[in-house]
Structure 1
Amino acid sequence: MVSHNEILEMYRDYVDPKFTLKNFTLEEQAKVIVAQRSNNELDTTKLKNEFPELLPIKESLIEYVFQPNQKTRAS
């Protein structure tokens, strides 16, 4: 599983070191959205059995999204 913040941190680390992130408080969020967030995690067991070479999500994001677009040296 990977969180929204983790993706934004990877973006900052690999693409734009000047990128800043400010999280909403739950109260601020409630003022701008119509419905509460629903975070879901899907079971990937069948997918992993069918395609055992699949990387975990964080590794896959780094290898196929962030490294090809890398503009900074990742920490």
Structure 2
Amino acid sequence: MAMIGVLGGMGPMATADLFVKMIENTKAQTDQEHLSILIYNNPHIPSRIDAILHGAPSPEAELVRSAKLLERSGANF
């Protein structure tokens, strides 16, 4: 079974908005016909803007760690 993994938290409201859009745009007649979605809302990812503009820590390591967590949790898409 396909399990969609969403790495969120770099704007929790944006993550919530994406989830609503995924639900609204899924052609499902019943609750059981919706997509399987696993969302990891990680607000501890360093700012990519601060990294680019000010030399702050890169978000890369935390993004990779978070993606691997989603994968270990069953996300395969």
Q: Please give the range of the TM-score, normalised by the shorter of the 2 chains.
A: under 0.3
TM-score if structure 2 supplies the norm length?
A: 0.26
Higher relative contact order (CA 8 A, sep 6+): 1
TM-score if structure 1 supplies the norm length?
A: 0.26
